[in-house]
Amino acid sequence: MSKLTQLLIAIFLLSGCSKAPETATVELPKAVKYQRVSESTGSIYREISGQIRSAEQSSLSFRVNGVLQDIYVSKGDLVVTGQPLAQLDDSDFTVALNKTQASLGSSRASAKAANDQLQRATRLPEGIISLAELEQLSNNAEAALQQVKVIEADLARAKLELQRTILRSPFDGQIAAVSVDNFSKVSNGQEVIELIDGDAYEVEVLLPESMIGNISYQQAVTVAVSALQDQMFPGEVSEIGSRVENGNAFPVTIRLNKSSDKLRNGMSGSVKFTVNNSSVPAYLVPLTALDFTHSMAGEGSQDALLYVINEQTMVLEQRNVKVGNIRANNIEVYAGISENEAIVVAGIPFLRDGMTVTLWQAN
């Protein structure tokens, strides 16, 4: 092998063993879309779900025992005040009434005879009848008169019980349910028909203690009914409970100012309250700015995460914030951020705490 060949081989081996210089990888700051926090000047809203029910509903029953003879209505029928709804077999009540009337006639005749006897005795010359006999006749006449009064009361009760064999509507409304069948035996006070006022509805909701102080009587609200394509009904607060019923919640009743023939008992209604509480600032933040999957408070909380830009260092700071209701594409935030801070509103899953960023500028 020639010297030239040996020299070329040595140069090749030396060049193969040398390392190529490494190029340092530098992470460039990520450009992020941002928005400045501004306090919401509009009203703060709360939506609480409840169940719609008739504002006036009655469980109707007979006030006497008997056998049901006729039911004149069916579920869903509209009725008016005084309209007969059902009737018991009144034959026994009619017999009792006739018997009492006969007793009254006999008692009145006896009372008249006793009174006539007393009057004749008082007209007799003095000494013909003793004072004791005269007093006895007076007592007999008075007893007969009292017996008449007792039977007159029995007659009035018999007439009333006969009237009570007919169940009438106490107000204009709609039949919600019929609980018994014809020819069944019913007892005094047993529910026969449920009647509701189809022109007046209300919603009962449970408000947390944090809200109850901001609610007042006759406060205007709106109720959205999901079963009617979220149709809105105006209403007002008619009752405010003074005692906790469930957890830390108070019962509040909303009276609807407008009705509809499509409303039914048991439908769900979402009541929107306006809470005027200036001591609690609310900020409207885009939904895209929040991460609800890794909130620090755990599942089921009203917390979420977002990123605030430190404009001095251009480093992201992860914040845990308290959120409220959703308004269109925004959500209310009550704690964790301040007015005029810059927050990231896009690309949240690709960010991390402490990341260096730049502000994205639209061309």
If DSSP codes are grouped into helix, strand and coil, which group holds residue 163?
A: helix
The pLDDT value given to residue 273? 87
Q: The domain containing residue 180 runs over which residues? A: 57-87+168-196
CATH number at residue 175: 2.40.50.100
Task: Give every CB contact of residue 89 below 8 A, 6+ residues apart in sequence.
Answer: 66, 67, 68, 69, 165
Same domain? 206 vs 190: no
Task: Give every CB contact of residue 161 below 8 A, 6+ residues apart in sequence.
Answer: 64, 93, 96
Same domain? 72 vs 184: yes
CATH number at residue 221: 2.40.30.170
As beta bridge partners, residue 195 has 58, 175
25 belongs to a structural domain: no
17 belongs to a structural domain: no
Picking from 254, 275, 296, the residue at the C-terminal end of a domain is 275
The Cα–Cα gap between 107 and 109 comes to: 5
Answer whether 308's CB lies under 8 Å from 35's CB: no
The pLDDT value given to residue 315? 92
Same domain? 74 vs 118: no
The pLDDT value given to residue 66? 93
Answer whether 31's CB lies under 8 Å from 359's CB: yes
15 belongs to a structural domain: no
16 belongs to a structural domain: no
The pLDDT value given to residue 7? 54
25-29, 34-38, 82-86, 265-269: least confident range: 25-29
Same domain? 187 vs 118: no
pLDDT confidence of 209, banded at 50, 70, 90?
Answer: confident
Please report how the helices 131-163 and 91-123 are oriented relative to each other, as an axis angle in degrees rounded to 10. 160
Six-digit token string for 80: 């008016």
Average of per-residue pLDDT across 161-168 = 94
Task: Report DSSP letters for 314-345, one per residue.
Answer: TEEEEEEEEEEEEETTEEEEEES--TT-EEE-
pLDDT confidence of 199, banded at 50, 70, 90?
Answer: confident
Q: At residue 43, does pLDDT exceed 70?
A: no
Q: How far apart are the first and last CA of the chain?
A: 69
pLDDT confidence of 259, banded at 50, 70, 90?
Answer: confident
71 belongs to a structural domain: yes
154 belongs to a structural domain: yes
Q: At residue 228, does pLDDT exceed 50?
A: yes
Number of domains in the chain: 4
Same domain? 187 vs 62: yes
The pLDDT value given to residue 69? 94
Same domain? 179 vs 210: no
pLDDT confidence of 330, banded at 50, 70, 90?
Answer: confident
For residue range 229-243, list pLDDT tens digits in order.
Answer: 889 999 999 999 888
152-166, 245-259, 336-350 — which one is most confidently predicted on average? 152-166
Q: How big is the chain, counted in residues? A: 363
For residue range 272-311, list pLDDT tens digits in order.
Answer: 887 655 455 678 888 898 988 865 444 444 688 899 999 8
